[in-house]
Structure 1
């Protein structure tokens, strides 16, 4: 896989490669989620029998049922009546006016004091009264009141008219002080007539007063159309819309499709083959969000483009692999296995990415997969979202990331899987309690089994896939580094047996480099294990290196400076070649090539100059390249520092500090750190770390005196 990525890298720039790969991921994601947002349609007819159970794919408002409920609520609102007291005033004023006009148009009324006095009512008097009433009274009473009433009024004396007017007005006020509806009007008039009949009114005026009373008594509790309509509208608005809920069964298989069912199916858009584009537009936006999240995640990442390309390919493969497993699990769920979605190893992707790359990217992929899972596992209801499964996947992935935060051994993956299983159980239990769901014993058993298997399966798949991805992409994970640090590795055993001095030197350099890298925030474990292999090239000619020359003459004393130069310089190239042959990670190969940078072999360079030959400095420099990473730079300094301090006689703290300072200063002046991102502040931290570590190694020891056997016996005695 790494070979093909390098081939693609030579053909495409990183920017083009990123766009192309993310586009492929987006396209495949769209294809995998397509069937879960496409609305299914049904070929059904009114009054036919349903061939399958139809469920609502979404939540909508049932407009027709809502309207029926609103009309029912409005019909239950009674009519609103409004009592209007001004009507009483108007009617009593009208009656008073009639009596007053009658008294005005009775010319002989003043003579009516005689007991036997009678008035002859002429037509002229009637006409004058009616004309006056028609002109000066707001209501035309001449057509509503019989002439006999006016005749009785005109034939009565003023005193009788005044008395009768007072009685009638009083009775009207008593009656109309209470609200009277149209339906109550007849009963009220009859009651008024009955009361007037029992009062002491002159016989000639009693009939007229009753007639006027019935005329004056009208409804004063009138129907308020505006208020009634407002209350009915308020009642309509208070009705909650009737909804067809997502997942609701519209019709069971084998049941008759009546008008109401057909209307609901039609309202859901399930009776036509003309699919709406809204779900597909939504899916496109969803996939675009995934594309943008991954794009900006890698765009903002400050690492080499070569690593970005590897990581992007790796993450894309893990993401698509997880989606594929989701799809397979969902298809298995069609066998009517309840809650099969909880069996999916949701923590697998998070654990793989956390083990090989970093925590941040693992969390991002966990969130994206949880969102995709909410669409795939939507209980066969196309277009719906399963929030519960999204929460389950999210917490499962988070548990996988958290419990792998400090893992350095593959066996810890299985332990992390057990913790993920516990987290799965807690999430399922919490959601069941929140919903107050009633599950059977079988349901709880399935939940328990699926949650535990999901966690363990995630760890098993991670353990199985991790070596494949590490080898295929050249990923150097923490666990891989721990494995490569095992002294039983063939290359390390070769160094130990063939070049024991080099092995000891590598271990010492590893101690220095690891402490310094951790002090500046670099990868200390990578530096340590890289040091174990950085001088593997010395195993080709171990005795040409001073740390392996024990009780033998230095072979360089018999060689020319040029030959010695070639042997010494070749150990970096030979080491890189051996590491490539054994297919060790590229980081180790880089450290082997870069740990001397382009430094000068000063001893042999000056030895060649002393011989009088013409010597070029470039010929006595390592081919490089210069250190490209902070780890390689630290190792290069640690390698020189350890060798220099080991050759010192009676190393003291001040001597060590001075030596370390001079070596780092020499590398700075030689521009050996120009191609890595070490800062001057970090160099000071590295110098301090080296001094502390070396002081701990080369501390002064107590000199024990030698006792002779005689002195020892005396002491024992």
Structure 2
């Protein structure tokens, strides 16, 4: 048991990668929409490339979204408006008119017969006017139903009467009856009339919902065994609808029952294969990233983030699938790592998403092209204009690509979904979110971007200011090394900004005891003269450890601290080692060696060469082209013989280019001129 645990502990990094791999595969498959995949690819207006297709099952022909929306719109436009008949208002009007008549009768001499006749006439007129009810204003709706005594009664446009119309009808009623002398009664009734039909919004919406629920989402059936389309036949719009209906039915049925587990197994195998390709790529071509679990986790986190965002969009807003800013993925990865890795991960992510998105070929084509454009155009993101230019080009590629596919599918420019152009523009705007996202990733995963490197390269920063105050000679040396290393990095295509920052901070440990380093000694007094060689060597060596400690206290990123660790590798403090040998025969060389590690990247290797060449160049007297050439060759050759570049992924050709740049720069520094023959 103890042996097993010991093995697990030794291989814990590999165990973590296995765990990350399994969890990532499981999460991606879990994110996928629950449905199988139709085994035929087809496009409207293109020939059917497979054998004759017969209906494998009975299925319904589904209406398109546009057809359903048109039906819904038609029902909403012609919906029935419901009004409630308020009988209490009619009663109140009758009571009000009766009371006014009684008051009127008291002012004159009326017989009981006349009084009864007038009351009866008033009641008849009121009943006639309120026969169908009175609206406040004439409604515009074509279909109107009046609810009276819990009974719904449709009312025709000819029977609709508004309050003003009802008052006119009362006047006409008395005129037709030859009752001009009863103008007082006509006025009483007109003044008392009120609208009694009240719009019932709740009942109207309820009836509308019932009508909408009755919409059929299908229009016909296809029986099993019926020929759907023959080989070579053009997929016409009607065929396209039938094939889409079969596809939906097939995929939904495929996911049911025992098929579920086979589909799940298929998805798992395909996703697992894609992620294995990623691990193999990292292991073979980016081993320094593969060995760093933090960086591997960061890459997988970004893949999962894009898969989650896209699958959620597929489930809920399939038409707006291109709103997901997938190009953020290569943008971010190129910023933290390199272009090749960014494009490779982007392509693998697009392949994963190709399983679940509609029109997978169109989607994969557009996203891969957009990813390539991102890699080719996005550089130096710390310059604000570069990101906007890159995003503009990505958006343009999406628009041109969609336009081309639409022309291929439709054969004309009709029915272009202009809303998709807005989606592409929104995609571009969301891609601009890469900048704050990069900042968040820096803090979350402890990575470093070009923007942060630019901030660190400011010589007015607190730590570099302190270095220039305490150790001005070291500060000047660091600036010179930064210039040399940056030029060399540009020559071989390494990260020039990272090298420059590493060079600026590589000797900050010398601030602890600046006078023990020759570049800071302003007098002829050398404090090493009073120390034994071993102790002097320890002070020199300790500037690496002190530098690491100072950098960590000042929250300098690990990628920059790597330059402090490795800029001397495991070389020997040769001067004091020789002095110690003069004092005793048996000398332990390990006491005079830097702790390392040796450089493990192009950038750290460039710094080691530049630092050694710049520091040693101070001892050159009357340098010539030949002297500088031999001088640089000797220093770099010594480092190579000491196996300092074994772990750095730098080639012999690149080392030659670095030496060439260092020679040119030193020639410029010493202002050497070509000697012409006399």
The structure-2 alpha-carbon separation of the partners of 1:313 and 1:245, relative to structure 1 and needing over 3 Å to count, comes to farther
What residue is the counterpart of 2:36 in the other structure?
Answer: 37
**How many angstroms apart in 2 are the aligned matches of 1:65 and 1:676?**
67
Q: Which has the larger radius of gyration?
A: 1
The structure-2 alpha-carbon separation of the partners of 1:66 and 1:669, relative to structure 1 and needing over 3 Å to count, comes to closer
**How many angstroms apart in 1 are the aligned matches of 2:278 and 2:545?**
38
When the two chains are superposed, the root-mean-square deviation of aligned CA atoms in Å is 4.3
What residue is the counterpart of 2:19 in the other structure?
Answer: 20
The structure-2 alpha-carbon separation of the partners of 1:37 and 1:464, relative to structure 1 and needing over 3 Å to count, comes to farther
Pick aligned residue for 2:601 from 629, 632, 635: 629
Would the aligned equivalents of 1:25 and 1:320 in 2 still touch at CA under 8 Å?
A: yes
Would the aligned equivalents of 1:374 and 1:386 in 2 still touch at CA under 8 Å?
A: yes
The structure-2 alpha-carbon separation of the partners of 1:343 and 1:679, relative to structure 1 and needing over 3 Å to count, comes to closer
Task: Tell me by how many angstroms 1:324 deviates.
Answer: 1.5
What residue is the counterpart of 1:323 in the other structure?
Answer: 307
What residue is the counterpart of 1:425 in the other structure?
Answer: 399
**How many angstroms apart in 2 are the aligned matches of 1:345 and 1:545?**
53
In the TM superposition, 1:557-576 aligns within 5 A as 557-576=529-548
What residue is the counterpart of 1:389 in the other structure?
Answer: 363
**How many angstroms apart in 2 are the aligned matches of 1:509 and 1:268?**
64
What SS does the corresponding residue of 1:635 show, helix, strand or coil? Answer: helix
Would the aligned equivalents of 2:457 and 2:501 in 1 still touch at CA under 8 Å?
A: yes
What residue is the counterpart of 1:455 in the other structure?
Answer: 428
The reply to whether residue 347 of structure 1 matches residue 327 of structure 2 is: yes
The structure-2 alpha-carbon separation of the partners of 1:370 and 1:53, relative to structure 1 and needing over 3 Å to count, comes to farther
**How many angstroms apart in 2 are the aligned matches of 1:623 and 1:238?**
73
The structure-2 alpha-carbon separation of the partners of 1:243 and 1:20, relative to structure 1 and needing over 3 Å to count, comes to farther
In the TM superposition, 1:98-497 aligns within 5 A as 248=242, 274=257, 276-277=259-260, 279-280=263-264, 282-304=266-288, 307=291, 309-333=293-317, 339-378=319-358, 385-405=359-379, 407=381, 409=383, 412-436=386-410, 443-444=417-418, 446-460=419-433, 462-497=434-469
The reply to whether residue 53 of structure 1 matches residue 33 of structure 2 is: no
Would the aligned equivalents of 1:537 and 1:572 in 2 still touch at CA under 8 Å?
A: yes
**How many angstroms apart in 1 are the aligned matches of 2:254 and 2:600?**
65
CA-to-partner distance for each residue in 1:597-623, whole Å, 9 max, x for gaps? Answer: 233323334444556797544323322
The structure-2 alpha-carbon separation of the partners of 1:239 and 1:63, relative to structure 1 and needing over 3 Å to count, comes to farther
Would the aligned equivalents of 1:517 and 1:527 in 2 still touch at CA under 8 Å?
A: yes
Task: Tell me by how many angstroms 1:449 deviates.
Answer: 1.9
CA-to-partner distance for each residue in 1:69-118, whole Å, 9 max, x for gaps? Answer: 9xxxxxxxxxxxxxxxxxxxxxxxxxxxxxxxxxxxxxxxxxxxxxxxxx
What residue is the counterpart of 1:533 in the other structure?
Answer: 505
**How many angstroms apart in 2 are the aligned matches of 1:658 and 1:33?**
63
Task: Tell me by how many angstroms 1:648 deviates.
Answer: 2.4
Unaligned segments of structure 2, at least 5 residues:
1-6, 39-56, 61-212
The structure-2 alpha-carbon separation of the partners of 1:275 and 1:534, relative to structure 1 and needing over 3 Å to count, comes to same
Task: Tell me by how many angstroms 1:546 deviates.
Answer: 1.7
In the TM superposition, 1:660-671 aligns within 5 A as 660-671=632-643
Would the aligned equivalents of 2:450 and 2:497 in 1 still touch at CA under 8 Å?
A: yes
What residue is the counterpart of 1:126 in the other structure?
Answer: none
Task: Tell me by how many angstroms 1:573 deviates.
Answer: 0.8
CA-to-partner distance for each residue in 1:585-607, whole Å, 9 max, x for gaps? Answer: 33322221222223332333444
**How many angstroms apart in 2 are the aligned matches of 1:559 and 1:642?**
26
Aligned residues: 496
Task: Tell me by how many angstroms 1:532 deviates.
Answer: 1.0
CA-to-partner distance for each residue in 1:503-552, whole Å, 9 max, x for gaps? Answer: 21112122323334444554444332211111011122223222122357
What residue is the counterpart of 1:124 in the other structure?
Answer: none
Unaligned segments of structure 1, at least 5 residues:
1-7, 70-235, 252-260, 379-384, 703-717
Pick aligned residue for 1:590 from 535, 557, 562: 562
In the TM superposition, 1:584-663 aligns within 5 A as 584-609=556-581, 616-663=588-635
Task: Tell me by how many angstroms 1:27 deviates.
Answer: 1.3
TM-score by length of 2: 0.63
Would the aligned equivalents of 1:53 and 1:249 in 2 still touch at CA under 8 Å?
A: no
In the TM superposition, 1:504-523 aligns within 5 A as 504-520=476-492, 522-523=494-495
The reply to whether residue 66 of structure 1 matches residue 227 of structure 2 is: yes
The structure-2 alpha-carbon separation of the partners of 1:505 and 1:50, relative to structure 1 and needing over 3 Å to count, comes to same
Task: Tell me by how many angstroms 1:275 deviates.
Answer: 6.4
CA-to-partner distance for each residue in 1:196-235, whole Å, 9 max, x for gaps? Answer: xxxxxxxxxxxxxxxxxxxxxxxxxxxxxxxxxxxxxxxx
Name which of structure 1's ranges 28-37 and 629-638 shifts more when overlaid on structure 2: 629-638
CA-to-partner distance for each residue in 1:656-678, whole Å, 9 max, x for gaps? Answer: 22322332344345444455455
CA-to-partner distance for each residue in 1:304-329, whole Å, 9 max, x for gaps? Answer: 36545344322211111011211333
**How many angstroms apart in 2 are the aligned matches of 1:416 and 1:467?**
19
Would the aligned equivalents of 1:594 and 1:632 in 2 still touch at CA under 8 Å?
A: yes
What SS does the corresponding residue of 1:304 show, helix, strand or coil? Answer: helix
**How many angstroms apart in 2 are the aligned matches of 1:271 and 1:684?**
62
Task: Tell me by how many angstroms 1:496 deviates.
Answer: 2.5
CA-to-partner distance for each residue in 1:277-298, whole Å, 9 max, x for gaps? Answer: 5644543443244234323323
**How many angstroms apart in 1 are the aligned matches of 2:504 and 2:520?**
16
**How many angstroms apart in 1 are the aligned matches of 2:594 and 2:252?**
75
